[in-house]
Amino acid sequence: MLVNINQPTSPEIHNLSIRLARECRYVVQGCLREEEWSLCDQEFYRVIRSGLEELARKEKP
């Protein structure tokens, strides 16, 4: 399940999600028009953040 990006998350998850989203976009950037880059970043961010938050929930005792 994807997260609502308007809900707060930890700074660590937020920053890591941004970095990984940009790194993923760099891989496919050649297939995108420049105006699509920010939407791509947002979509990757949403998926990555969702996965990191799910992992964090599973790791809590």
pLDDT at 21 over 70: yes
Q: What are phi and psi of 57, to 5 degrees?
A: -65, -40
Cα–Cα dist 38/22, whole Å? 9
Task: Look at the block and give the residue holding tokens 């941004």.
Answer: 18
Cα–Cα dist 61/42, whole Å? 31
With bands split at pLDDT 50, 70 and 90, how would you rate the model's confidence at 3?
low
Residue 25: how many CB atoms within 10 A of its CB? 20
pLDDT at 60 over 90: no
Nearest-Å Rg of the Cα atoms of the chain is: 13
